[in-house]
Amino acid sequence: MPRLVMKFGGTSVATVDRIRNVARHVAREVRAGYEVAVVVSAMAGKTNELVAWCKDASPLYAQSEYDAVVASGEQVTSGLLAIVLAEMGIKARSWQGWQIPIETSDQHGSARIARIDGSRLDAGFRHGEVAVIAGFQGIHAETGRLTTLGRGGSDTSAVAVAAAIGAERCDIYTDVDGVYTTDPRVVPKARRLERVAFEEMLEMASLGAKVLQVRSVELAMVHRVPTTVRSSFDDPDDARPGTLICDEDDIVEQQIITGIAFSKDEAQITLRRVKDRPGVAAAIFGPLADANINVDMIIQVVSGDGVTTDMTFTVPASDYERARTILDAQSGKVEFERIEGATDVVKISAIGVGMRSHAGVAAKAFRALADKGINIRAITTSEIKFSVLIDAAYTELAVRTLHSLYGLDRA
């Protein structure tokens, strides 16, 4: 029989009534002839509550004990869904990450999946049993300690389980009915996409789209797991198809630009009149990397006099003050006149595999933004996307301009 993994997020399982609705979605797929594994998150708000308890208990808690506490949210949900399914006459049992087992690294709070042994799940499938799996958690085999995969890790759990059991696809159920060309709250004409290529979804997720966790898309792309984003709030007996994330070759008609993403979690740092000499970039960015601060856009102005240069780059807004402190501490090793910064900036990105075969796509956007009086602070490009850094005040205007420019308003 074909296998299917279904994942339900926190809003989908926020109450017992919503869990009953989830069970109806599961029942529909069981009736359709699938062997089903369900991966669940904690009830909405529960993980935040558990984290707060850890901080209240001690500001210097051990990360291993933090994992033991916060993983309990998913344990509750998996047990409740198994109870509801049994009440509906569907054989089911709950599974914790360590019972399967889902083996991970020992990086508590942000562990990575090393391997999944699906043989115990196989045995349950042979007996017609639905596996209800607590997402977000695993176990480090050597220490025997429970681990968690980081916020949003249930998406990663679901895709990894799908790859391990050879599932036909992985359905991610959330509070939206698919992936849109951009945020519908910003552009009312935004459209739901029927299909998105893995690479496009990876870029969209990393550039501000909140539909899927980045690591789950990476896993889906590496293991070629077709993944569908669907709404758990649809009528289970008349559910919409959602958006399929798949190989580029499976998309018949490909647009040049598939979607517009934006990220407000950006800060700009500029070092003025940096002494231009070999090794200066390493001296600037090495300490930031050691502090796990992700540097994105980097612009270095060519030195006209061969003596000094200006260097501009972006970091997450949450790391802005820490980055400035680190750079101030490097002033003895890196000679510069002053540091300038801005946190009122936003990164706008256009993504589409069609950019590979079309020239002038980004230039068209630059002209359109200029016509609207929007100044571009920085630009980065890759094979299938380009990003611009602009003043945050122009976010909605820029997104709407690019959305219309590339014909994404048209149905």
Query: How far is it, in rounded angstroms, from Cα 57 to Cα 60?
Result: 9
175 is in an annotated binding site: yes
pLDDT at 91: 97
210 is in an annotated binding site: yes
74 is in an annotated binding site: yes
Residue 277 neighbours by CB distance under 10 Å: 14
173 is in an annotated binding site: no
47 is in an annotated binding site: yes
pLDDT at 277: 82
304 is in an annotated binding site: no
| 202-246 tens-digit pLDDT | 999 888 777 888 899 999 999 999 999 999 999 999 888 999 999
7 is in an annotated binding site: yes
Residue given tokens 């992700």 in the structure block: 294
Q: Which residues are registered as beta bridge partners of 171?
A: 6, 228
Q: In what order do the strands lie in the sheet with 102-104?
A: 113-116, 102-104, 137-140, 145-148
List the chain pLDDT tens, one digit each, 411 residues.
899 999 999 999 999 999 999 999 999 999 999 999 999 999 999 999 999 999 999 988 999 999 999 999 999 999 999 999 999 999 999 999 999 999 999 999 989 999 999 999 999 999 999 999 999 999 999 999 999 998 889 999 999 999 999 999 999 999 889 999 999 999 999 999 999 999 999 999 888 777 888 899 999 999 999 999 999 999 999 888 999 999 988 887 678 899 999 999 899 999 988 888 888 888 899 999 999 899 988 888 776 777 888 889 999 999 999 999 999 888 778 888 889 999 999 999 999 998 888 888 999 999 999 999 999 999 988 889 999 999 999 999 999 999 999 999 875
Mapped onto helix, strand or coil, the DSSP state of residue 19 is: helix
Query: How far is it, in rounded angstroms, from Cα 130 to Cα 126?
Result: 10
Could you tell me which of 79, 115, 71 has the C-alpha nearest to residue 95? 79
In terms of C-beta distances under 8 Å and separation of at least 24 residues, what long-range contacts does 358-363 make, across chains too? 358/256, 361/256, 361/257, 361/386, 362/386
Query: How far is it, in rounded angstroms, from Cα 23 to Cα 77?
Result: 12
Query: How far is it, in rounded angstroms, from Cα 273 to Cα 334?
Result: 11
347 is in an annotated binding site: no
DSSP string, 218-256: HHHHHHT--EEEEETTS-GGG----EEEE-GGG-SS--S
Query: What token pair was written down for 48?
Result: 């935040």
The pTM score is 0.86
Mapped onto helix, strand or coil, the DSSP state of residue 154 is: helix
- Asked if residues 384 and 294 have their Cβ atoms less than 8 Å apart, the reply is no
Mapped onto helix, strand or coil, the DSSP state of residue 40 is: strand
Q: What residue type is 29 in one-letter code? A: E
Same fold, 3-249 and 254-410: no
Domain 254-410 sits in CATH 3.30.2130.10:
yes
> In the chain, where are the structural domains located?
3-249, 254-410
Query: How far is it, in rounded angstroms, from Cα 391 to Cα 194?
Result: 32
In CATH, the architecture of 3-249 is 3-Layer(aba) Sandwich (3.40)
- Quote the crossing angle between the two packed helices 16-31 and 72-87, to the nearest 10°: 60
Q: What residue type is 221 in one-letter code? A: M
* Strand 137-140, strand 130-134: pairing: unpaired
